[in-house]
Structures are given as structure tokens and as C-alpha cells.
Structure 1
Amino acid sequence: MAKNKQDNPAKRDSVNLRQLSELLQLSQTTISLVLNDSPAGKSIPAQTRERVFAAAKKFQYRPNYFARSLRKSRSMSIGVMAPDLSEGYFTMVMNGVEAQLLSSHYFYFTASHYWDTKLMQEYPRLLVERAVDGFLLLNTPADFESTLPLVAISAHTNTSGVTNIVLDHLRAAELALTHLYELGHRNIVFMKGPEIIPDTEYRWQSILEMASKLGLQIRPELCIQLEADSWSPDVGYQPMQRLMAQTQDFTAVFSFNDISAIGVLRAIHDAGLSVPGDISIIGFDDIMSAAYQKPSLTTVRQPLREMGREGARVLLEKIADPAATFPQEIVMTPELIVRESTGTAMRKLATRKAARRN
């Protein structure tokens, strides 16, 4: 007589640890070490590990989450807070965060606060109620009290115990401004980010320092202060339109980020000028769409995925060993990606002035 489905593990929708152990003829301990990626499991032969993973997938084995959490005294989850998860910076950072957490079998909750101070205070409490093991803050200051491990990316938090993943902004300014200087640009529009963004002041001070070293004059009438933190290129389009209605006495624009640079590109096109023939543009971040603009965007690349991975990695290390010592700051290196949107200044500005006089 055929066995009942309930008695045949191979025909069940899923199996438990004991049944998986019987199927593989391996101890439950061995299987647990492999599936939990335990350091002790590294000594188990690769062929055996492959058998365990293949069988767990085939028979849809699901470990008991609550039992595992109790054994480890952890929820195996973290809380991620960000202003928003819009296209560009945040999607690329989160790509790195997710990759690191998935490889470590960790889950995460995300909370977008949109710079609402009430939400920025309330979300940490709500995440603690969901038993997260730690916090990862993206471009968000740690303005709340917590006994949990905490890592901040691009937040420049001075709070004790917080590890900051930050970019070398002085090197970023050096790369961008040296590039423009060597192309002959002396009249440059500088775009300062919204005051609410933690990176803004650090990047601006680096620009001022590097411009001084190169002998570049920062003219107040050629400075744009972005008022809004937006995912839309309109954040750069509107202020660039207003500036060009007042003056076109410049040959290059150093944008706050790639999103604003895309808006600047359109504003210049709508004014009947070309990039880089009349005006060069440099962006910041190197988001995925930067290479596919027309012309493709020269930009300062932040290693966003690597910053996300590093932030998640350090946070998990803090969770695993709270007593260990961690640096307050980990500095990441930028890279200049030269594409089509920058070219030599030559005599373009003089030519435009002469054309307007005629």
C-alpha cells in the first residue's frame, strides 16, 4: 500500500529539520551549522554543504524563526532609516545594504521620514518595538537615544558609539575642480545642496578650500543654493533657468548631484545652448542613468553600493560583538568619471558675449 503523503517527506509541501536530517542521513546539528552559516560549519566538506543547501531548497525547508531568534538572542533584523528611497543615491546605497544583509541571512525594515522631525523621533521607537538588533541610518542624523548598535552613512554624526561611513569630500572637490581647471574653465557655477542634507556643508567647505588652492574665484552671483531635496531633475532645472535669465557669464556648472545635473542639462538645452560646446556640466554620485543621458554625464562617483555594503557589514559586526571597538569614521574614496558633458572652455564665453552685443 502507498505511503500517506503526510508520512513521505519528499511529497510534503515542506519538511522540518528532523525530516531533512533523515533524508540526508546527516545529523540535525550538521544541517543547522550549514544553513545558519555558522563559523563552526566552515569545516564541513563543501560537497556536504552543497547537498544540504540543495535539499533545503528542494524540500522547502524553513527554519523555525522564533526558535532561532531565541537561541541567538537576536531578531536577525535591523532598522533602516532614510529621508526617502527615491531614484539615485538611496536606491544604489540600498542595493549594497541588501546584498550584505542577504548574504548574512538578515532581514530589514525600512522607514522613510521625509525630514519630518516627528517621524524621525517616532520611527526609532517603532523599530525597537519590532525588536530590531540595530540601526542603519542613511543621510539621517542620529538625533535619538538608543542602546542598540548604530551605523550612519553620509550623516556625519558625532554621537558617541556611532560609526560613520563618509566620503572624502576634499578629494571629490579636488577631482572635479582640477578637471574643470585643466579644461580652461574659470567662470564656474557652483551648486550648494539643501541645508537639511548632512553632506551639504562638508562638500561645500571642501569646494571652497579646493577652489582657493587652484585660484578659482567663487562669485556669489554664480552660486545656486538648492532649497529642496527632491528626486526630480526639476530641483536643478528651475534654479538654472532663473540664473540664466540673469547671466550667462560662465562656461561650466558643478552640480550638487546627478539628479540636479540632469535638470541643469535640460535648462541649458532649452536656452538654445549646447553641452559641452557652450557649457560643461559635472554631476555627483554617478547614478545608474548618468551614463545614458545625452550627452552622458561627467560626474564624481561616490562608491554608493560599497558604502551600503560597508555600513551593513560594520553594523552586523557591532551586533555580533557589542564589546568590540569600532572606528568613529570610515572614509570612502571618490572617483572622477569623465564622459561627454565636459569639454574645453576655449573661447566659447567670449564668442557668446560678442554674439549678444551684435
Structure 2
Amino acid sequence: MATLKDIANEAGVSITTVSRVINYDTTFSVSEETRKRILEIAERMKYKSPKEKAEVYNTKANGRSTPVRIGILSSYSEEVELSDPYYLSIRMGVEKECDRQGIITEKIFNMKDYNELAKKHPDLSGIIAVGRFSKEKINTLAGLFSNIVFIDEEPEDPHLDCVIIDLAKAAREVLNFLLKKGHRDLGYIGILGCNSEYPEKIDAREYEFRNFIKENCIEKNEKNIYLENGTAAGGYLAMVNAIKRGNLPTAFFVASDSMAIGALKALHEHNISVPDQVSIVGFNDIPNAEYTVPSLTTVRTYTEFMGVTGVKLLMDLIENGANDIGRKVIIPTEFIIRNSTK
């Protein structure tokens, strides 16, 4: 079977040029003569793109009569995904399982009008919706697609399938750990606008923090809640604000490892020792968490497995139809104790 290199050699151009022409990259400038030559050579050599190969796999290896093409719909932008590995890891899990099963995927980021989704992508067999969605948008999506699975969102509709982690349970484990370590002056750094589409429903970790400090009669810590964007820069800014305010808590629970890394940087710049003066706990256990100084205590989330599970649920819907009741799969977390706490 012909490869991009074969076509490039015969056309007398680079592999990159061939790839961009064959994939109809409209941002790529090349002469019409070269474009025509590349396409004619590809047709003569019967070159098949990765998507076309996947279609062959779908119909032959899996015994399916028609190709399966699914959309990976993200509630956030590509920039947000790149700034925090959490959602990127979920998508990689989705794509890994789709590749294993020979399923074709289409990435759809932060689409404003979901009513246009079915029109722009009429050949989709189903949707995996990743991120946080308002009730209105969940209902819109469910009305457009009978085959849909939500990841990291728990719809109120009991007929919809979802894959989630128990944020509240994980948060309570962290807070109990800090309390047992003798920390009664606790702080929380969370994600601003985590649920911007329905702000009345705050992030489960923040909600659990507020409940925990009330239950343990440490309500003064209500002032020690700092919300910023969910990046390292956001965590840095939140911690700088906490330092400027004075009376710094002896321990912080931070909603993401990226934010925790920013918080560590702020503490280091202000000569505040971790964990001797302040303990830090992150969330997600991204690859860098083990290599911060000190190494970051955090909650490990199995995000790639969330993606894999979502694909399996969706394929069951596509191949066997909807169930009488939706399925909610809760993926466990693991508390990882390292050197940023004492």
C-alpha cells in the first residue's frame, strides 16, 4: 500500500507538502500544478488516508456494515485543553480506544450553537461530550443524538449515560488527611467559572470544602477561598493574593495540579517553605506532579480510563440501542502522599 513517502518521492516534494495537500489544508500555499500532480499520483497509487484505512477496518475487521464515526465534543476551547492535561488525557483515552476499535473520530471544540451540530456533522453515529455542560445544552444534545455519553458531567436526566469521578469523596479524603495532620487553618484554591454556565452549582470540591470547615467549626476559613482560572498562572496569582492578605493558612487544597504548581512557585518566591510552613495538596496527578520541588501530594484521577470507558458505553448504545435507564460509571481516585505535606 502506498505511503506519503512514496508519493513525495515521485512528485519530487517533501512528505509534509504531500500530507498537507492530501488533507486539503487551506492554509498551505502551493502551486496548482504541484497540487494537481500530488493528487494524481496519490490516486494512481491508490493511497488511503488514515481515516479511509479506519473505514476499511470498521467494515471488514469488525464486521460492521457501515463505518462508525463519532464526535468528541469538548465544552472548552483547544487553548484550555492545552493549559491543563486533565481534559487532554481524557481525549487521548477516547482516541486510543477508538483507534483500537477502528472508529473514526472528529474533534469538536467549544461549539456555540449545538443546534447546528447535527447539520455540520450529519454522518456521526454518536457523540462523546467531554467537560461541563448546562442543563439546557445537555437537553439539546440529547435531543439531537440518541447515542451520547457524557464524561466529567453528571446529567440530571436518568436516561443518559455518563462517566464521572466522585469529586466530593476525593475532596473529603484530602481534607480529613490534613485535619488529622493537625491543620485547622485550611485554604482552598479553586477554578473560577468552573461551572460558568450554571454558577449556582459550584464545583464539588469547593462545595465539599465549605461544608467541611462548617462541620468542623472552622468557619473563619471561608475567607481563605481563592478562585482563579485553572492554569499554573491562575494558581500562582491565587497564592500571591493569599500571601498579600496575610495570616496564611497552614495547608491548601488546590483543585488542579497545574494550579498547585503555580502556587508552589509563588510560595518559593516569597521564601515560604513547603511543607514546613505551608502544606499543598493538588488534584489529578499529572506527570509533572512527581517532579516538582517538593514532589506534590495529590489525588490521582484515571482520566485516560474515563475516556476508554466512555467509548465502550457509546459503542454499546450504537450497536445495541438505548437501555431503559442510563448508566453512571464512577471511576475511583487514589490519594498519593508525597513531600508537599506534613
Which residue in the other structure is 2:101 paired with? 104
One of 65, 70, 85 as aligned partner of 1:78: 70
Which residue in the other structure is 1:178 paired with? 176
Native 8 Å contact 1:186 1:217 kept in 2: no
Change (3 A) 1:122 1:245: farther
Q: Which amino acid aligns with 1:221?
A: K
- Is 1:203 aligned to 2:241, yes or no? no
Change (3 A) 1:100 1:187: same
Instruction: Give the 5 Å matches for 1:66-215.
Output: 68=59, 72=64, 74-82=66-74, 83=76, 84=78, 85-86=81-82, 87-113=84-110, 118=112, 122-123=116-117, 125-127=119-121, 129=122, 131-141=123-133, 142=138, 144=140, 145-159=143-157, 161-197=159-195, 200-215=202-217
CA distance in 2, matches of 1:218, 1:137: 39
Native 8 Å contact 1:192 1:200 kept in 2: no
CA distance in 1, matches of 2:109, 2:319: 26
CA distance in 2, matches of 1:102, 1:77: 11
CA offsets per residue over residues 244-268 of structure 1, 9 Å max, x none? 1111331111111111111111111
Native 8 Å contact 1:241 1:267 kept in 2: yes
Q: Which amino acid aligns with 2:315?
A: L
Which residue in the other structure is 1:217 paired with? 219
CA distance in 2, matches of 1:151, 1:263: 33
CA distance in 1, matches of 2:244, 2:97: 47
Native 8 Å contact 1:96 1:304 kept in 2: yes
Instruction: Tell me the C-alpha RMSD between the 2 structures.
Output: 2.9
Shift of 1:307: 1.1
CA distance in 2, matches of 1:302, 1:210: 22
Change (3 A) 1:331 1:219: same
Shift of 1:111: 1.6
CA distance in 1, matches of 2:94, 2:54: 23
Larger mean Cα displacement after TM superposition, 319-328 or 244-253: 319-328
CA distance in 2, matches of 1:152, 1:207: 25
How high is the sequence identity, in percent, across the aligned residues? Answer: 23
Change (3 A) 1:124 1:279: farther
1:340 is paired with a residue of what secondary structure?
A: coil
Shift of 1:140: 3.6
1:224 is paired with a residue of what secondary structure?
A: strand
CA distance in 2, matches of 1:214, 1:176: 14
Shift of 1:81: 1.3
Which residue in the other structure is 2:249 paired with? 250
Shift of 1:334: 1.5
In structure 1, list runs of 5 or more residues that go unmatched.
1-11, 15-60, 344-358
TM-score by length of 2: 0.73
Change (3 A) 1:323 1:238: closer
Change (3 A) 1:162 1:279: same
CA offsets per residue over residues 32-66 of structure 1, 9 Å max, x none? xxxxxxxxxxxxxxxxxxxxxxxxxxxxx958749
2:144 is paired with a residue of what secondary structure?
A: coil
1:219 is paired with a residue of what secondary structure?
A: helix
Native 8 Å contact 1:282 1:341 kept in 2: yes
CA distance in 2, matches of 1:308, 1:63: 19
- Which structure has the larger Rg over C-alpha atoms? 1
Native 8 Å contact 1:99 1:309 kept in 2: yes
CA distance in 2, matches of 1:91, 1:67: 25
- Is 1:293 aligned to 2:292, yes or no? yes
CA distance in 2, matches of 1:166, 1:320: 23
TM-score by length of 1: 0.70
Q: Which amino acid aligns with 2:188?
A: F
CA distance in 1, matches of 2:265, 2:154: 32
Shift of 1:147: 3.0
CA distance in 1, matches of 2:289, 2:115: 35
In structure 2, list runs of 5 or more residues that go unmatched.
4-51
